[in-house]
Chain A
Amino acid sequence: MKLQHHLGGLENLGPVTYEPRVFVEDWEQRVFGIHVAMMGLSAHLGDAVPQYPIEDVPTAFSSVWTWADLRKGAEAMHPFAYFQYRYYEKWLGGIGGFFVSQGYITEEELEAKAAEYLQDPGLDLPEGGDERIDDQVIRYLREGDSPRQGPATSPAFAVGDLVTVKDVPPTEHTRLPGNLRGRTGTVERVFEGDYGYFCSTGPDGIGEPMPVYAVRFEPTDIWGELAEPGAVLYGELYQAYLTHAMEEQQ
């Protein structure tokens, strides 16, 4: 079990640091930009709804890189480190590690180059590159990568149905908030169409297109006597995570 899959409701964390800035150090912007570029150049985008001509983009990047890959990295961290490192420190660790593990660069050359920049932060970046790379990245930002795929199948649940969230096997990556596992809620909305996910999560159950629901939970059903009065919690849940509440009880 991963703590990162079960954050909702974790106690004793103390006050929230209300830092309103998006980036607190200039370097954080650069790793954000690199991540967006990777998403915009990801090899899977040829199959995306806008049918990006990804094979014609003259980049050396040939991997699939989506939110799922970034999230997997964060979910693979030591759970205490997950709290100790700042958001973009985690990104830098995950993204740097990816380029090394995929053979684009070596750890040695990254360290050697970092040592140069550490010694002389004013050193310029190298110049050059084909503008079509940038054009694809910006086009991706404008047109996106919708997970809505294929013809809509007939949803298994309807508005008003009582559904119980499955306790699917723990896997590398999930989109099921841990605090909802095993809980029963009410379908409040059936989203139009079917929605895939960037990758298969294996026995966790998502990846292929399927209906998605907004499910309403009563906090007392989740948190017991720790629940706050006067609140409701909504999860947006893939059909694979749900079963009819009546079935569950039998």
Chain B
Amino acid sequence: MTVQFGYPEDREARSAARVRALEALLIEKGVITDATVDKVLGYFEADMTPLNGAKIVARAWTDAEFAERLVKDTPAAVAELDLPVGMDGAEGEHLQAVANTPGVHNLVICTLCSCFPWPVLGLPPYWYKDPTFRARAAREPRVVLKETGLDLDPSVELRVWDSSGHSRWFVVPQRPAGTDGMTEEQLAALVTTESMIGIAEVPSPAA
């Protein structure tokens, strides 16, 4: 344990140089190509973003039967929508939606690592991967939510899902007030990544 004291000032520059050296060597040795990493990153930037999840949520808000199918058989319901190919690809093989209601709020965590439904939510934000969040959300989820600005009514049951198995969970938040008459596209624009993990609600556009 030297990091408390001998903390190199150029920590980031050293990591940047080391990962570039690793990538260079892997290209030289024929493990990957000069384009592999860029193509992987491009795949996520172009196709696998939280917009997919937002479209799924917006459909659930406007089609009650779809909303029911979505929690019952998530992969089949997701496949109904016109989303990029790969919703059941890496980290989407077993998607599982859980829906918030006036009496139930859901929160997705992963205490063992950082399991996340890539195809529908994109890659996980840093706070989700933070051991402090993972540890605390298991035991004191209401306090953690309150710290981020979500003060759940005591009457609401808070369901915490620890992603320890094969499923990749995501939350269908409640449709906010003041959105009557909005199109699916307008609704999708309101949905945040945080709301689909469960640390926030979707704010009303009037607010």
B21 contacts which of A33, A116, A175 (Cβ < 8 Å)?
A: A116
> For the complex, what is the distance from the CA of A237 to the CA of B133, rounded to whole Å?
21
- The listed residue (B19, B41, B125) touching A21 by CB distance below 8 A is B125
- Given A7-B111, A22-B125, A114-B21, answer yes or no on A238-B31 (Cβ-Cβ < 8 Å): no
Instruction: Let me know if A177 and B112 touch, CB within 8 A.
Output: yes
Q: Which of B40, B114, B193 contacts A141 (CB 8 A)?
A: B40
B130 touches A191 (CB 8 A): no
A89 to B129, CA, bound (A): 13
Task: Please determine whether A36 and B165 come into contact, CB atoms closer than 8 angstroms.
Answer: no
Which listed segment binds A: B51-59, B134-142, B178-186? B134-142
Within 8 A of A (CB), among B116-150: 122-127, 129-136, 138-144, 147-148
Q: Is the CB of B30 within 8 A of A114?
A: no
A195 touches B165 (CB 8 A): yes
Q: Does B206 contact A (CB under 8 A)?
A: no
What chain B residues lie within 8 Å of A170 (beta carbons)?
Answer: none
A40 to B43, CA, bound (A): 13
Known: A34-B32, A126-B34, A236-B167. A230 touches B41 (CB 8 A): no
Cα-based distance from A237 to B165 in the complex (angstroms)? 6
Q: Encode B7-30 as 1/0 by CB contact (under 8 A) with A.
A: 000101111111111111111111
Q: Which residues of A contact B144 (CB under 8 A)?
A: 16
Contacting residue for A118 out of B13, B34, B35, B134, CB 8 A: B13
Contact among B21, B111, B157 with A232 in the assembled complex (CB-CB below 8 Å): B157
A133 vs B22: C-alpha distance in the bound complex, in angstroms? 17
Is A231 part of the contact surface with B, judged by Cβ < 8 Å? yes
Q: Which residues of A contact B135 (CB under 8 A)?
A: 7-10, 13
Minimum C-beta distance from B198 to chain A (A): 12
Task: Assess whether B113 is interfacial by the CB under 8 Å rule.
Answer: yes
Instruction: Tell which of A20, A41, A117, A118 touches B127, judged by Cβ atoms closer than 8 Å.
Output: A20
- Decide yes or no whether B189 CB sits under 8 A from chain A: no
Give the CA-CA distance A7 to B27 in the complex, in Å. Answer: 37
Residue of B nearest to A139 (CB): B89
- A189 to nearest B CB, angstroms? 9
In the complex, B1 has a CB within 8 A of chain A = yes
CB distance from A88 to the nearest CB of B (A): 8
A126 touches B131 (CB 8 A): no
A128 interface contact, C-beta 8 A: yes
Closest Cβ neighbor of A35 among chain B residues: B40
- In the complex, how many residues of chain B place their beta carbon closer than 8 angstroms to a beta carbon of chain A? 88
A187 in contact (CB, < 8 A): no
**Is B204 at the interface (CB under 8 A from chain A)?**
no
A71–B112 CB distance below 8 A: yes
- Return chain A residues, CB-CB under 8 Å to B138: 7-9, 177, 179, 233
Q: Are B30 and A60 in contact (CB under 8 A)?
A: yes
Instruction: Contact check, B92 vs A25: say whether CB atoms are below 8 A apart.
Output: no
Q: How far is the CB of A6 from chain B (nearest CB, A)?
A: 9
> Given the complex, which residues of B lie within 8 Å of A7, measured CB to CB?
111-112, 131, 134-135, 138
The complex places the Cα of A125 from the Cα of B166 at a distance, in Å, of: 37
A30 pairs with B19, CB closer than 8 A: yes
Q: Does B38 contact A (CB under 8 A)?
A: yes
Contact with A along B94-127 (1 / 0, CB 8 A): 1000000000000000011110000000111111
Q: Which residues of A contact B89 (CB under 8 A)?
A: 140-144
* Besides A116-B17, A121-B17, 17 new A-B residue pairs in contact (Cβ under 8 A), listed by A number: A20-B194, A25-B12, A27-B16, A27-B20, A31-B19, A34-B19, A36-B90, A78-B1, A99-B31, A110-B18, A129-B35, A131-B35, A141-B90, A145-B90, A233-B162, A236-B163, A236-B166
Q: List 7 A-B contacts (CB under 8 A).
A: A16-B144, A21-B126, A39-B90, A67-B113, A110-B18, A179-B138, A232-B158
Tell me the A residues contacting B by CB distance below 8 Å: 4-5, 7-11, 13-22, 24-27, 29-34, 36-37, 39-41, 58-61, 67, 71, 74, 78, 80-85, 87, 89, 92, 95-96, 99, 104-105, 109-111, 113-118, 121, 123, 125-131, 133-134, 137-138, 140-148, 174-177, 179, 191, 195, 212, 214, 219, 222-223, 226-238
Chain B residues in the interface with A (C-beta under 8 A): 1, 3-4, 10, 12-41, 43, 48, 85-86, 88-94, 111-114, 122-127, 129-136, 138-144, 147-148, 154-167, 193-194
